[in-house]
Structure 1
Amino acid sequence: MDERLLTGTMKINKANHLEIGGIDTISLVEKYGTPLYVYDISQVKHKAQMFKKAFQDRKIKAQVAYASKAFSCLAIYQLMAKEEMSLDVVSGGELFTAIQADYPSKKIHFHGNNKSDAEIIAALDYNIGCFVVDNFYELEKLNQYTKQRKQNMSILLRVTPGVEAHTHEYITTGQTDSKFGFDLNNGQAQQALQLAMQMPYIDVMGLHCHIGSQIFETEGFSLAIDKLVMQSKEWHEAMGFDLRVLNVGGGFGIRYTSEDEPLPIEDYINNLIDEVQSVTTKVQLPMPEIWIEPGRSLVGDAGITLYQVGSQKIIPDVRNYLAIDGGMTDNIRPALYDAKYTGVLANRVEDAVEETYSIAGKCCESGDMLIWDLPLPKADDKDVLAVFSTGAYGYAMASNYNRIPRPPVIFVENGKDFLAIKRESYADLMRLERSLY
């Protein structure tokens, strides 16, 4: 196997089992069953510290906000608060969870392209740090409610700068044709800024952009920074706009398979800092705060999913299918994005490879395939499959399709395990339902 996939505390122990957080994964399976999400919490903490340290080493004023759509729950919010991270939420549910976690209100940033009245009011009630305003509809709603309440609120304007990252078309968000943000090239961003600067209780701190996800280069960020800072210079001269915050989003890539080559965290951050310093100096603007929004890069490769191997279907000279007890209900990304993963038999990690299997989920869908053509030892139903880098958008996008309960989430650290989210039961699936007769 590719040793680079053993991130954080993951290792192969003397029993030839995969170990994470100082705990044998097979003992976790015996205790909690499968499917099972497992998070290496020390790695999450380390990543958070690395992002913050990269700015601190350069003495740059910054905010690092966890983009919690990657994985949201009470425990992960509590962890991020303890690590003194800011927090991005994109819905009333994420905001409610943050409130339940007693998250510092001023560190919460509210994203989303269609915030409801109830969500806006809840965020104003909690007096969050800022709204990332996505459209004219939201801007007018904020103006209305802040005037009614005589409540000041800071905002960033989300701008689509016309920069496309080198990524999958379904997860690019910075280009002109996007459901997100005010377009820079057609004048909508300038119009929004002019309106916002006239609103009595709205403080436009700066601009936000997000150019995509799973990005392995820095050129896209540099292009976006150049465009936004150059435009800010024009707006400063034309209408007195001060760019105090430049939020360049997230999208920093992680390794899912051996083909992925993510940059070190400090490389991403140093490039951002260098580019902002260079262009602001060039146009003679003060250096703004730099905000970023890592999500996947904080939790993605800190998580694994454990499955019990089940049935097999061997089609001679065609393919060997190996079924597991999960699939698209706990990881929709292969079906949704054609996302690539890899894995090992957690109970026989270093056994010799004998077969190539395609890993099939148990849902009644031909598209429920988790991994195609995975080299493994000859497997049977006593084996446990560990799939790497499932910490982002696994549980967050899980469903009850085919009435399959969602798996539990376990945090592991220093030989201890913590049940962060319980396994759903069949009774849980019926909890909100009412009998017709």
Structure 2
Amino acid sequence: MLKAYRGDIIFTPTPQEFSVLEDGFVLVEDGTVKDVVGSLGAEYAEVPVIDRSGCLIIPGFNDLHVHAPQYPQAGLGFDCELLPWLDRYTFVDEARFADPDVAERWYRRFLVDLWQAGTLRFSAFATLHTASTWRLMELAQESGLRPLIGKVNMDRNAPDSLIESTAQSLADTETLIHRAAERTPNVGFIVTPRFVPSTTPELMEGLGELVAHYHLPVQSHLDENRSEVAWVRDLHPDIPTYAQVYEHYGLMPRGRTVMAHCIWLNDAERALLRDRQVTVAHCAQSNLNLQSGIMPARRYLDMGLQVALGSDVAAGHVLDMTRHIVMSIEASKALRFIPGHEDERPLRLAEAFYMATKQGGSFFGRVGSFESGYDFDALVVREGDNLLDLSVEERLERFLYAKGGAAIEERYVDGALVPRPFAEKE
């Protein structure tokens, strides 16, 4: 059925500039965008109109890197760098998800808060616990959101409470692959080795075989922290770079890989990521919180890398993607004060918005824009009185910098209105 959504429409078909239509219409048929028009001609006289005049209508947000079980620790431990932070906070937190009651309570809260923030699709790490990971997938299916979720794999260099055998890790992963395919049609499975230091060569080899056999996507971490990079070099002295470790074991499938952080890539790694069409998840807030560095987003874009945004909760302290759009811009400005980066242009608003919408959405299909043939993933934003007679673009900027998720009134995924998840149980 064809419908028309009326409002002030703004999106980014390209990262260079916004496409804006004040008081226009998005025509949606069976959940898919048909067109964006300024008025409804005679051929659309009988089309029902969902009138949101005075509101912004923007694409939904996509978070390409988030840790669902770390949500309880958001905002903690930022005097630490990455590796001590994992030991003191993250591993302690994640071990608690062996308890299904803990998982139930926190995963519900996590999904509701993503909905509140307008994040409609996301790629999430769970824990190594099969039952709790499955419960997250079930709850996500119930929520109306459309994520990719992965059981974390780790069989070395972690506390005893978070170590699994190689065989059990692979068996549990394959169990969840089948279960997701059969029972959670709107929640995809993504293979999730935590990072190279926590996965043995045998486990990585087995995961690579699963990726190839089931044609699955992969998510992990890459070149986040200098100490981590050095650790990988010690563990794999026979492989030239951190990125090539993943490639060596079949964990960098072309066009189906998300690598978070990627701050300290060398030339060979950048070339490899470009060749493998890897999506780089830029997590600016996290990288500053844990003193990891600033990813040179401008250079990566100029080199042809695909850069999306990730919240990286809980190393990032909020889920709201408006904060991460802003932080990515601010970090690119701060980078210009570092020798060697003085002449780089900072990210522009349209570029950062594109990263959180169309670029991130491309990992899920035709998502993140209002171009013809795209899924209608949309947010209706009422950002307040327009006392300054602002343009649509200026109103979007004010929403991103000063309003955030609290200004979102409605959320649509694939054309369906998504109400607050689990409201009947609260």
Bin the TM-score by the shorter chain: 0.3 to 0.5
Larger RCO: 1 or 2 (CA < 8 Å, sep 6+): 2
More helix per residue: 1 or 2? 2
Between structure 1 and structure 2, the one with the greater Rg is 1
Q: What's the TM-score once normalised by structure 2's chain length?
A: 0.37
